[in-house]
Amino acid sequence: MNGTQNGTTENGDGPTWLPADSSFATKAIHSGYKPKDHTFAPVVPAISLSTTFEQDAPSQHRGFDYTRSGNPTRQILEATLASLDNAKYGSVFSSGLAATTNVIAMLNSGDHVICMDDVYGGTGRLFRQMAKTANIVTDFVDLTDVEKFKKALNEKTRLVWIETPTNPTLKVVDIATIASLTHAFSQNIMVAVDNTFLTSFFQRPLEFGADIVVYSLTKFVNGHSDVLMGAVVTSREDIHERLAFLQKSIGAVPSPFDCYLVLRSLRTLHVRMPLHMKNAFSVAKFLSSHPRVSKVLHPGLPSHPQHQLALKQSSGHSGLIGFYIKPGSGCPTKFLQNLKVFSLAESLGGYESLAELPFSMTHASVPAELRAQLGITETLVRLSIGLESMEDLVKDLDQALNAC
């Protein structure tokens, strides 16, 4: 598959990204499940609601004993997710932050974490809270600055947490560089990448040396804004075994029904992502030339500081865009209230377009000083571009901007 098929060079003027995985679509539709392995061979997997499973003799069961430790529907989803990252193992959790919590639970008191400074608000809050309650100290570092990163590594470091592109300023972190520096420093440090923004369709961090990939499936992977779920994928057996133990012990697992919904969404991930990308790139180009806009953040634009790196490590960008509105006459509040196709709402990655103000909404919990340093100002708007008609999205943004 090349750039044309993933929607990047539609007009012949889009950037050239890393080639996409040519077998992705087939894996999204077929991997993790063979109908004939199941009674009655249903082509669509069954939802196994039972919490318990009859045993043939004490402790002799047919693969499942209690649904917290393992569930047939969940297992199909976990196997499918792993295959899309070309990974060996997948584990799902009741939310993206539950997935992160389980990764943090692999650490011990006294361990040190290095976390990208610009991360999902809830991830930052979780690492800050952990510092207090579990004596796990987190340093928030700009991982686009390799020298700063090297200085932050120490004997107690056990986890490096990357998010790329970042939320909400869409900085791009060099996964291969951070992973190789980390592992050269110590083999005992896990490199985790939160891949929520791009999904395995556009970026597969394990191929760049990461140990684990974390997802909020709530966003693009489920894509229909109706399920809260998270996942961790890895090819390391030691990590998988520990996570399976924690998944069972902590018990933050999703319901079989939700697993079914996410599985159903996975079947069209490769159809949805190129359209998110195409719509978002068109909107980014439109905003770049709008007189009420001072700056647009999108890794596919040559003006983006890590544009070349983005092209090198991902095969496209999703529906996320940031932009700064020129101050004046009640904006950006007026702009946000005047939108008609876009909803003013938190979250991202659904088929519907959303707009929000990170400063007072998703990133209100980021300390004020850090927020200012990161560029999360009162004029920064975040858009999640959905799958509506691109012309209608552009028209809507135009009329709302002109109302400012």
Ligand X SMILES: *Cc1c(COP(=O)(O)O)cnc(C)c1O
Q: What is the set of active-site residues?
A: 68, 120, 194, 219
Sign of CA dihedral 161, 7, 223, 233: negative
Among candidates 89, 81, 99, 64, which has minimal Cα distance to 24?
A: 81
Q: CA-to-CA distance for 71 and 313, rounded, in angstroms?
A: 34
Give the HSE-up count for residue 146: Cα atoms under 13 Å, Cβ half-sphere: 9
3-state secondary structure 27-81: HHHHCCCCHHHCCCCCCCCCCCCCCECCCCECCECCCCCECCCCCHHHHHHHHHH
Question: What distances in angstroms separate CA 113 from CA 108, 189, 335, one per listed residue?
Answer: 11, 9, 39
The residue among 120 and 359 lying less far from ligand X, judged by its C-beta, is 120
CB of 121 to ligand X, least distance (A): 9
Chain contacts with ligand X (rule: CB under 6 A):
95-97, 120, 122-123, 163, 167, 194, 196-197, 216, 218-219, 228, 230
Alpha helix stretches (DSSP H) within 105-170? 121-133, 146-152
* Distance, CA of 358 to chain centre: 17
CB of 233 to ligand X, least distance (A): 15
The pair phi, psi for residue 221, each rounded to 5°, is -60, -50
CB of 47 to ligand X, least distance (A): 21
CB of 362 to ligand X, least distance (A): 8
The residue among 296 and 320 lying less far from ligand X, judged by its C-beta, is 320
The strand pairing partners of 57, in sequence order, are 60
For residues 396 and 287, the answer to whether their CB atoms sit within 8 Å is: no
The residue among 129 and 333 lying less far from ligand X, judged by its C-beta, is 129
Sign of CA dihedral 32, 36, 37, 40: positive
CB of 229 to ligand X, least distance (A): 6
CB of 346 to ligand X, least distance (A): 9
Q: CA-to-CA distance for 156 and 374, rounded, in angstroms?
A: 27
The residue among 197 and 201 lying less far from ligand X, judged by its C-beta, is 197
Minimal CB distance residue for ligand X: 96
For residues 174 and 309, the answer to whether their CB atoms sit within 8 Å is: yes
CB of 162 to ligand X, least distance (A): 11
Q: CA-to-CA distance for 321 and 168, rounded, in angstroms?
A: 8
The residue among 125 and 267 lying less far from ligand X, judged by its C-beta, is 125
The residue among 120 and 286 lying less far from ligand X, judged by its C-beta, is 120
The residue among 75 and 166 lying less far from ligand X, judged by its C-beta, is 166
